[in-house]
């Protein structure tokens, strides 16, 4: 987990070895959840698949009537998931070698560290101290990211509501229990064989272990939800492998918030590093341009000076040459004149 | 024909206009249906597949392909590559329109679009990567708007406001790079929260880095692509500076994209190695992953490099198309193909024709607005009254001219 | 290359080793790619 967060940080920011020690975004803290938090223990070895829980849930939450009545067991032919008109579904699993069918009731697991709450960009979800994960319809924008995030595929959406579609999911009967209308969730109260028990999470874990002791060989020695995704408030016991009941065993124990906390931790680093880095690059590039301009100007000046010097030299030598030629011409003329003058004198001397 | 009196009025029913008209009518009808009957009546979205084409294409691809804005302005103003100056305004316009269309698409996709401002003004879910995406996109859209305003102000003649914004160009550019880095990477980070639903070959702790780096390649390639299209259809609006710099922009950006794609290839390889996912390469999804990685990342990197070596503009332009398709493929793969890969085939998602129609409608809208702006405002030319052109080293000051001519052989004769 | 890891430590020993080797290969590779990319850059003016 430490490694993943650290590398997530690196990956997101591209900031290299400048980072010192690996940083879990929450430091080295360990969070244990609300101590008095309540949940439900489901025992798959007791469930008879009567769907009374579905009926009970539908009744107390005043949900719309389903297409088939709750005592219609032919629905078990298909594997069902929750939809906006049902908070919970029971599915039937016929396993080779098992004495009879096994049933699993599925609904929101009310995680200790819910992915839905972590993913919601308007904080529409709350993990209550009572244990329920509840959704607030007064701020929900309907972006459905919570549905993407939930590893259990629980939240449902009213796709056929044009203007006020809601997210629908099990509330652990939070409003009904906190207002005193119910003492246990509707499904728990309706179950005729006590396959569902409502109580404090730590008590439920205790009960589960007592059952392991009391009925050796009846249960798999694993409480599903004890550690999955960081732990859930809805716990499951089974005599058959959980994956045979359509429950994922590859979710790991890392809670959802930890999966994104590394990347989110990199955001403020970018926000402060980039201005400094980019301004620095700009300054360097401007300085390079300036020096290039200076060097060009110097080169031009030198070239001009050189050309000028050359030109002057040329002019000088040309003038000197002209001077010499002029002198030579004058001398020639003088010589000629002298010769001219000397001629008649020679004739007169005879 | 010239003698006809009615020749002065051109027919409105050109093939282009008819097609656009149909797209708009269908779009309007579907819009009505979406808000009268809900998302279920128009899309193939479901509780198992809450996000579909509008997120995969209009949001993820829309944002990635609009990355030309920050990459071009950074290249010109931060890295000082002034020879790309003429490419900045078209890139900013493309990005501005791209991000605007992302917001419009969200108006269709979310359940209560009028509540979109809620995360910023009512209640903030700061633990959410989506919050970070939303905040940065909102701020960046405003940044792009301000960066586009000078062209608009020059058209309207508002000198003082225009001058002020031009003065703060560097600050806006740096802000744009910061915001873009954050939201491009956060779009990848969206999927970090759900490793159980994304195929191991596409899920990685490096997802933010993958999305950010590939957005750079996408942006550079889109500038080449948009420049090629504009050159063909809007040539008459281009001044001498733009035309002269055009080929250098293409080859220069091809060079940059080649390196960025090579980088992207390398970090994808590291992503596989670091989580020991080699064995997945031998599966069906593995083959598809290799198609994406080899055919749409490695191959364009190589082709861009060849194009730069050979100064082959045509190859560079076609490679930009390949790269853009590759980015689209990656975003689709991450959000639609690799997502929910474990669901039985009957539960997998494919967009409805109406979802596709709305996406087509939004692109058409974008193209029309682009054309409207580019044919009136100084996007592909510099308004002589506001000349910003910075001369290159050793180059003399030039007076820009308008060129009203058809495609002609480039004076420097790059090998086509 | 498929074998079961019992501890995170074992997993990291294996993957980190692979990554270091890959890093070396990639550094050489990117150098070669850059040389290929800039190989025909003629004597251009200072841009």
Lowest pLDDT segment from B120-134, B355-369, B402-416: B402-416
Burial letters B132-150, b for 16+ CB under 10 A, else e: bbbbbbbbbbebbebbbbb
- Nearest Cα of chain A lies from the Cα of C11 at a distance, in angstroms, of 12
- Rounded to an integer, what is the distance from CA A321 to the centroid of its chain? 86
What are the beta bridge partners of residue A89?
A: A106
The answer to whether residues A157 and A136 touch, using CB atoms and an 8 Å cutoff, is: no
Q: Around B201, how many Cα atoms within 13 Å sit in the side-chain half-sphere?
A: 21
The answer to whether residues B64 and B327 touch, using CB atoms and an 8 Å cutoff, is: yes
For residue B76, count other CB atoms closer than 10 A to its CB: 21
| pLDDT recorded at residue B12 | 82
B411 pLDDT above the threshold of 90:
no
Q: Is A61 helix (H, G, I), strand (E, B) or coil?
A: coil
| pLDDT recorded at residue B386 | 80
Name every chain B residue with its beta carbon within 8 A of the beta carbon of A115. 193-194
Which residues 25-64 on chain B approach chain A with CB closer than 8 angstroms?
34-41, 43, 45-48, 50-51
Which ipTM did the prediction report? 0.89
CA distances from B153 to B69, B87, B149, B169, B242 (A): 19, 19, 6, 15, 20
| pLDDT recorded at residue B18 | 95
Name every chain C residue with its beta carbon within 8 A of the beta carbon of A3. 8, 12
H-helix or E-strand spanning residue A54: helix A52-60
Mean pLDDT of chain C: 85
Q: Around A123, how many Cα atoms within 13 Å sit in the side-chain half-sphere?
A: 9
Q: What is the mean pLDDT of residues A70-90?
A: 95
C6: burial class by Cβ within 10 Å (0-12, 13-18, 19+)?
A: exposed
Residue A97 is encoded by which pair of tokens?
Answer: 């070698």
- Nearest Cα of chain C lies from the Cα of A205 at a distance, in angstroms, of 27
| Cβ–Cβ gap B83/C2 under 8 Å | no
**Alpha helices, H only, A123-173:** 145-149
**Alpha helices, H only, B157-206:** 159-167, 169-189
Cross-chain CB nearest to C1 (options B278, B305, B309): B278
Q: Does B391 touch chain C (CB under 8 A)?
A: no
Q: What are phi and psi of B238, to 5 degrees?
A: -100, 135
What confidence category does residue B399 fall into, taking pLDDT thresholds of 50, 70 and 90? Answer: very low
What residues have CB less than 8 Å from B342, skipping those under 6 apart?
A: B197
Query: How many contacts (CB atoms, under 8 Å) link B and C?
Result: 54
| Cβ–Cβ gap A267/B186 under 8 Å | yes
Q: Does B273 touch chain C (CB under 8 A)?
A: yes
Cross-chain CB nearest to B309 (options C19, C30, C39): C39
| pLDDT recorded at residue B388 | 55
The CB-based long-range contact list for A216-225 (8 Å cut-off, 24+ gap) reads A218/A45, A219/A45, A225/A109
| pLDDT recorded at residue B410 | 44
| Cβ–Cβ gap B47/A158 under 8 Å | no
Q: Does A350 touch chain B (CB under 8 A)?
A: no
Which among A2, A3, A11 is the top mutation candidate for probing chain C, defined by the most C β-carbons within 10 Å of its own β-carbon?
A3
Q: What are phi and psi of B297, to 5 degrees?
A: -125, -60
What residues have CB less than 8 Å from A152, skipping those under 6 apart?
A: A106, A108, A109, A248
Could you read off the pLDDT of A212-250 as tens digits, one per residue? 999 999 999 999 999 999 999 999 999 999 999 999 999
What confidence category does residue A30 fall into, taking pLDDT thresholds of 50, 70 and 90? Answer: confident
Q: Does C30 touch chain B (CB under 8 A)?
A: yes
Residue A214 is encoded by which pair of tokens?
Answer: 């009391």
Name every chain A residue with its beta carbon within 8 A of the beta carbon of B209. 11-12, 14
Name the interface residues of C facing A (CB cutoff 8 Å). 8, 12, 46
B407 pLDDT above the threshold of 50:
no
Question: How far is Cα B344 from Cα B326, in angstroms, rounded to an integer?
Answer: 27
Residue B27 is encoded by which pair of tokens?
Answer: 């779009």
| Cβ–Cβ gap B35/A163 under 8 Å | yes
Q: Does B394 touch chain A (CB under 8 A)?
A: yes
- Packed helices B159-167 and B129-156: angle between N→C axes, nearest 10 degrees: 140
A21 pLDDT above the threshold of 60:
no
Could you read off the pLDDT of B255-282 as tens digits, one per residue? 999 999 999 999 999 999 999 999 999 9
Mean pLDDT of chain A: 91
A19: burial class by Cβ within 10 Å (0-12, 13-18, 19+)?
A: middle
CA distances from B335 to B39, B59, B197, C14 (A): 19, 11, 10, 30
A91 pLDDT above the threshold of 60:
yes
Name every chain B residue with its beta carbon within 8 A of the beta carbon of C7. none
Q: Is A170 helix (H, G, I), strand (E, B) or coil?
A: coil
Q: Which DSSP string do the residues of B332-400 spell out, in sequence order?
A: HIIIIISBTTTS-GGG-----HHHHHHHHHHHHHHHHHHHHHHTTSSSSS--GGG--PPP-TTPPP---
Residue of C nearest to A1 (CA): C8
Query: How many contacts (CB atoms, under 8 Å) link A and C?
Result: 3
Which chains have at least 3 CB atom pairs separated by less than 8 Å from chain B? A, C
Mean pLDDT of chain B: 91
Cross-chain CB nearest to B182 (options A141, A267, A285): A267
| Cβ–Cβ gap C1/B279 under 8 Å | yes
Cross-chain CB nearest to B309 (options C14, C40, C47): C40
Could you read off the pLDDT of B146-196 as tens digits, one per residue? 999 999 999 999 999 999 999 999 999 999 999 999 999 999 999 999 999
Answer with the residue of higher pLDDT: B369 or A25: B369
For residue A331, count other CB atoms closer than 10 A to its CB: 10
Answer with the residue of higher pLDDT: B399 or A79: A79
Question: How far is Cα B218 from Cα B61, in angstroms, rounded to an integer?
Answer: 9
| pLDDT recorded at residue A20 | 39
Q: Does B270 touch chain C (CB under 8 A)?
A: yes
Cross-chain CB nearest to A159 (options B40, B110, B185): B40
Question: How far is Cα A270 from Cα A248, in angstroms, rounded to an integer?
Answer: 36
Q: Does B279 touch chain C (CB under 8 A)?
A: yes
Which chains have at least 3 CB atom pairs separated by less than 8 Å from chain C? A, B
- Rounded to an integer, what is the distance from CA B105 to the centroid of its chain? 15
Which residues 71-100 on chain A approach chain B with CB closer than 8 angstroms?
81-84
What are the beta bridge partners of residue C20?
A: none
For chain A, the residue count is: 350
List the A196-200 sheet strands across, edge first. A196-200, A38-43, A234-237
Q: What angle do CA A15, A18, A19 make, to 5 degrees?
A: 85
- Nearest Cα of chain C lies from the Cα of B58 at a distance, in angstroms, of 34
Closest alpha carbon to B222 in B330, B319, B84, B361: B319
Residue B21 is encoded by which pair of tokens?
Answer: 């008209």
Question: How far is Cα B57 from Cα B52, in angstroms, rounded to an integer?
Answer: 8
| Cβ–Cβ gap C46/A292 under 8 Å | yes
| pLDDT recorded at residue B282 | 97
Q: Does B401 touch chain C (CB under 8 A)?
A: no
How, if at all, do strands A156-157 and A167-168 pair? Answer: antiparallel
Q: Which DSSP string do the residues of B93-151 spell out, in sequence order?
A: HHHHHHHHHHHHHHHHHSS-GGGTTHHHHT---TT-HHHHHHHHHHHHHHHHHHHHHHH
Residue C9 is encoded by which pair of tokens?
Answer: 């430590």
Query: How many contacts (CB atoms, under 8 Å) link A and B?
Result: 203
Q: What are phi and psi of A225, to 5 degrees?
A: 105, -10
What are the beta bridge partners of residue A167?
A: A157
Q: Is A99 helix (H, G, I), strand (E, B) or coil?
A: coil
Taking the C-alpha atoms of B204, B206, B208 and B210 in order, what is their torsion angle to the nearest 10 degrees?
Answer: -100
Q: What is the mean pLDDT of residues B323-340?
A: 98
What confidence category does residue A349 fall into, taking pLDDT thresholds of 50, 70 and 90? Answer: low
What are the beta bridge partners of residue A103?
A: A92
């Amino acid at each position: 987990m430490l490694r993943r967060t650290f590398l997530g940080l690196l990956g997101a920011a591209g900031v290299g070895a400048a980072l010192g020690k690996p940083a879990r975004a929450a430091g080295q803290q360990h969070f244990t959840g609300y101590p008095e938090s309540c949940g439900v223990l489901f025992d798959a070895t007791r469930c008879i698949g009567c769907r009374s829980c579905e009926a009970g849930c539908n009744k107390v939450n005043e949900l719309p009537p389903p297409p088939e009545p709750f005592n219609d067991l032919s629905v078990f032919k298909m594997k069902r998931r929750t939809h906006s008109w049902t908070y919970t579904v029971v599915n039937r699993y016929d396993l080779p070698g098992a004495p009879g069918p096994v049933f699993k009731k599925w609904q929101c697991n009310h995680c200790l560290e819910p992915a839905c709450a972590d993913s919601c960009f308007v904080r529409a979800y709350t993990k209550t101290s009572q244990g329920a994960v509840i959704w607030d319809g007064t701020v929900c924008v309907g972006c459905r990211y919570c549905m993407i995030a939930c590893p259990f595929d629980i939240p449902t959406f009213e796709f056929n509501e044009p203007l006020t579609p809601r997210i629908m999911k099990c509330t652990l009967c939070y409003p009904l229990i906190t207002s005193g209308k119910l003492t246990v969730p509707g499904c728990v109260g309706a179950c005729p064989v006590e396959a569902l028990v409502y109580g404090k999470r730590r008590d439920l874990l205790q009960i589960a272990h007592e059952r392991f002791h009391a009925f050796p060989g009846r249960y798999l020695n694993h409480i599903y939800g004890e550690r999955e995704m960081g732990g859930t408030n809805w716990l499951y016991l089974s005599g058959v492998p959980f994956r045979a009941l359509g429950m994922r065993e590859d979710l790991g124990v890392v809670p959802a918030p930890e999966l994104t906390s590394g990347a989110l931790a990199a955001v403020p680093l970018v926000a402060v590093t980039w201005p400094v880095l980019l301004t620095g690059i700009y300054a360097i590039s401007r300085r390079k341009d300036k020096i290039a301009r200076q060097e060009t100007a110097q080169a031009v000046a030198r070239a001009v000076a050189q050309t000028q010097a050359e030109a002057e030299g040329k002019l000088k030598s040309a003038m000197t040459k002209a001077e010499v030629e002029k002198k030579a011409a004058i001398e020639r003329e003088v010589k000629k004149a002298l010769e001219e003058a000397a001629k008649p004198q020679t004739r007169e001397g005879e | 024909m010239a003698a006809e009196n009615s020749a002065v009025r051109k027919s409105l029913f050109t093939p282009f206009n008819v097609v656009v008209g149909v797209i708009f009518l269908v779009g309007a009808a579907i819009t009505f249906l979406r808000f009268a009957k809900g998302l279920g009546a128009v899309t193939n979205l479901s509780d198992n597949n809450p996000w579909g084409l509008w997120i995969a294409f209009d949001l993820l691809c829309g944002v990635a392909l609009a990355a030309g804005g920050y990459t071009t302005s950074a290249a010109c103003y931060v890295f000082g590559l002034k020879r790309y100056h003429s490419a900045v305004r078209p890139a900013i316009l493309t990005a501005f329109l791209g991000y605007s269309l992302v917001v419009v698409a969200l108006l269709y996709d979310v359940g209560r679009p009028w509540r979109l401002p809620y995360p910023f003004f009512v209640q903030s879910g700061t633990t959410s990567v989506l919050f970070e995406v939303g905040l940065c996109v909102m701020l960046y859209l405003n940044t792009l708007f301000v960066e586009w305003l000078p062209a608009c102000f020059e058209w309207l003649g508002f000198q003082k406001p225009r001058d002020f914004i031009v003065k703060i160009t560097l600050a806006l550019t740096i802000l744009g790079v910061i915001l873009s880095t954050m939201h491009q990477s956060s779009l990848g980070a969206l999927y970090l929260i759900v490793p159980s639903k994304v195929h191991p070959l596409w899920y990685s702790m490096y997802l933010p880095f993958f999305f950010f780096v590939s957005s750079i390649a996408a942006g550079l390639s889109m500038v080449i692509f948009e420049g090629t299209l504009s050159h063909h259809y809007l040539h008459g609006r281009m001044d001498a500076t733009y035309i002269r710099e055009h080929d250098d922009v293409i080859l220069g950006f091809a060079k940059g994209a080649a390196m960025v794609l090579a980088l992207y290839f390398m970090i994808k390889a590291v992503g596989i190695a670091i989580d020991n996912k080699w064995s997945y390469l031998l599966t069906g999804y593995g083959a598809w992953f290799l198609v994406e990685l080899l055919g749409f990342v490695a191959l364009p990197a190589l082709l861009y490099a060849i194009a730069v070596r050979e100064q082959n503009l045509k190859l560079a332009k076609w490679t930009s198309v390949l790269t853009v398709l590759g980015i689209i493929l990656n975003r689709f793969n991450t959000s639609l193909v690799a997502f929910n890969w474990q669901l039985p085939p009957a539960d997998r998602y494919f967009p409805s024709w109406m979802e596709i129609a709305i996406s087509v409608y939004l692109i058409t809208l974008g193209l029309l607005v682009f054309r409207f702006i580019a044919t009136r405002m100084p996007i592909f030319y510099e308004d002589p009254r506001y000349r910003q052109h910075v001369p290159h080293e050793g180059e003399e000051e030039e007076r820009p001219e308008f060129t009203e001519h058809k495609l002609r052989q480039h004076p420097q004769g790059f090998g086509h | 290359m498929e074998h079961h890891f019992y501890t995170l430590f074992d997993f990291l020993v294996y993957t980190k080793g692979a990554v270091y080797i890959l890093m070396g290969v990639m550094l050489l590779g990117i150098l070669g790619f850059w040389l290929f990319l800039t190989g025909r850059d003629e004597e251009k003016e200072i841009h």
